[in-house]
Amino acid sequence: MHFSYYMPTKIHFGCGEFEKAPAYIGTVGKRVLIVTGKYAMKKYGFTKILVEGLTSLGIQSALFEGVSANPLASEVNQCVETFADWQPDVVVALGGGSAIDAGKGIVLGLSTREKVETYLLGQSPITHVDIPLIAIPTTAGTGSETNWAAILTDEYSGIKTSFRHKGLFPCMAIVDPQLTVSLLPGNTVETGFDVFAHAVETYISKSGVAPLIATHSLAAIRLVRQYLPQVLKNGQDITARNNMMYASMLMGFNLANSSTCLPHRLQYPIGVKTNSSHGSGLMALFKSWLDTTYEISEEKFNCIGEALSGNPCRNKEEFMLAYQQFTQSIHRNGSLADFSLGKEDIPYLASKVTGSLANDPAGGIPGIVEKIYNGACK
């Protein structure tokens, strides 16, 4: 057996770890730029708690609260321009995947003094990232706290895509499940489905060859199957919140060592065109992708079906039934109609799909993108 696996992020996981965040941050830097979204962190008091904790330890901080739910390249550039002369020695991203992805763009911009589009649109390779990033996730979804990718939207070209570099791995992740208790059911199910999608896609991906990836994927699918319905019934269920946060973090490990498949590539244009959440777009696409590609990876999909249902899965009918029962348990079964999109929008959406399709076993099939979009209209 031979494989490579890389994970440089130091992790502090558990309820109550957020209270220790100022002390953890102080071991990395004394001049801290905090990056958050526009509303939620202030609403729930998390930003205030963090700033006051840093101040009590004599650690200087500044705050950028300008990150959208679908983070924009222009927001990253605005932050870099504002704080370049202040010269932070560490950036702390507090929030969901949007804040953490923006934080990755910000440490890149502060390091290079270039606009982030240069790297997002592939005009130049990333050669160095000099400023460390600490991630404090407040959703159980993206796993961005333990991977090396950032996903941003260039609003001028209408393209949502990603860039990667080992310097974008957070040097530290402070993962406290208590921070997710305040999530509303809609946010919980959308981010939770992203965990499930990461597990399925990294397992199916042709780049997911390390045995640890398969182990983590199947473990995460079992955790989501059990605990996402529970946390939707009772958002205060801290055991369910713990397990969803753990599954999300595991999928960050997978994303650092494997890749997603067609659903993620196809969701990005939906998110840009409709300004909708990543998880809701994935839910609209996923059944069509599974139905279209099952035969290409039949053995792997059957393993997923068994993890999802707890019963042996031997054919497509049993697999699709397992998926249907899962979506029923979380009360979601979306389509493109949820976004007021139909067949007439498919040519535009397909024209905005970016990134390599080669890691999906079905990626080389002519017309596969349009076929999945078409199936998602039903």
- Domains of the chain by start residue, with CATH: 10-180 (3.40.50.1970), 185-376 (1.20.1090.10)
The predicted pLDDT at position 39 comes to 84
The predicted pLDDT at position 378 comes to 83
Query: Under a CB-based contact definition with an 8 Å cutoff, are residues 51 and 66 in contact?
Result: no
The predicted pLDDT at position 318 comes to 98
Which residue is it, tokens 């890389």? 6
Query: Under a CB-based contact definition with an 8 Å cutoff, are residues 144 and 99 in contact?
Result: no
Distance set, CA 140 to CA 173, 189, 220, 242 (Å): 13, 10, 12, 9
DSSP 36-74: EESSHHHHTTHHHHHHHHHHHTT-EEEEEEEE-SS-BHH
Q: Angle 185-204/262-274 helices, nearest 10 degrees?
A: 150
The predicted pLDDT at position 277 comes to 94
Mean pLDDT computed over 22-30: 98
Determine the straight-line distance between the first and last CA of the chain, rounded to whole angstroms. Answer: 44
Q: How many residues does the chain have?
A: 378
Pairing of strands 159-164, 149-154: antiparallel
Which residue is it, tokens 């979506």? 327
Mean pLDDT computed over 81-89: 96
355: confidence class by pLDDT, cuts 50, 70, 90:
confident
- Encode pLDDT of 279-330 as tens digits: 999 999 999 999 999 999 999 999 999 999 999 999 999 999 999 999 999 9
The predicted pLDDT at position 208 comes to 79
The predicted pLDDT at position 40 comes to 83
Q: What is the DSSP letter of 134?
A: E
CA pair distance 120, 73, nearest whole angstrom: 8
CA pair distance 186, 192, nearest whole angstrom: 10
Over the chain, what is the mean pLDDT?
96
pTM, 2 dp:
0.96
The predicted pLDDT at position 1 comes to 75
Partners of 31 in beta bridges: 60
CA pair distance 115, 118, nearest whole angstrom: 6
Minimum mean pLDDT range among 37-41, 234-238, 262-266? 37-41
